[in-house]
Amino acid sequence: MNDHIIKILQAWVDNKQIQFNDGSIWIDIDIKKYLSILIKYPEKFRIEPSFKVFNNAIQFTRALNKHGGYIVHQKTKTVNFPIYAGNTYITIYVNNNSKRLTYYDLFNNWVFLDGTKIAI
């Protein structure tokens, strides 16, 4: 058995979050539903990396510029351009209305355009 598969299964036993690359972004999964795919395509799986939430606008803005300038909601796949970054939140436009998102919301529900998690 492939070493990567063993690491993924051990992480599952250790209650770590397993992620699957759906072709565009990494999504959290219940590995029990993906075991046959894991055996066939182990490279599409990873253990969720440890991340920290951004502490301020400078950290977020630097990362945003590095990863394409846009953010994508993980479930709806909605793409947005942040129009303001503060020390505790960003502002985006949704349906011609501004909406504030905290860095915790970004961390939990959004990714950068290139699929990278919005975190340090």
d(CA 26, CA 74): 9
- Position 41 scores a pLDDT of 94
Give mean pLDDT, residues 64-71: 93
For residue 114, give every residue at least 6 positions away whose Cβ sits within 8 Å of its Cβ, in sequence order, or none: 67, 68
Which residue type, as a one-letter code, is found at position 38?
L
**6 or 51: which leads in pLDDT:** 6
pLDDT greater than 80 at residue 24: no
What pLDDT was estimated at residue 119? 87
Q: Is the model's pTM score more than 0.85?
A: no
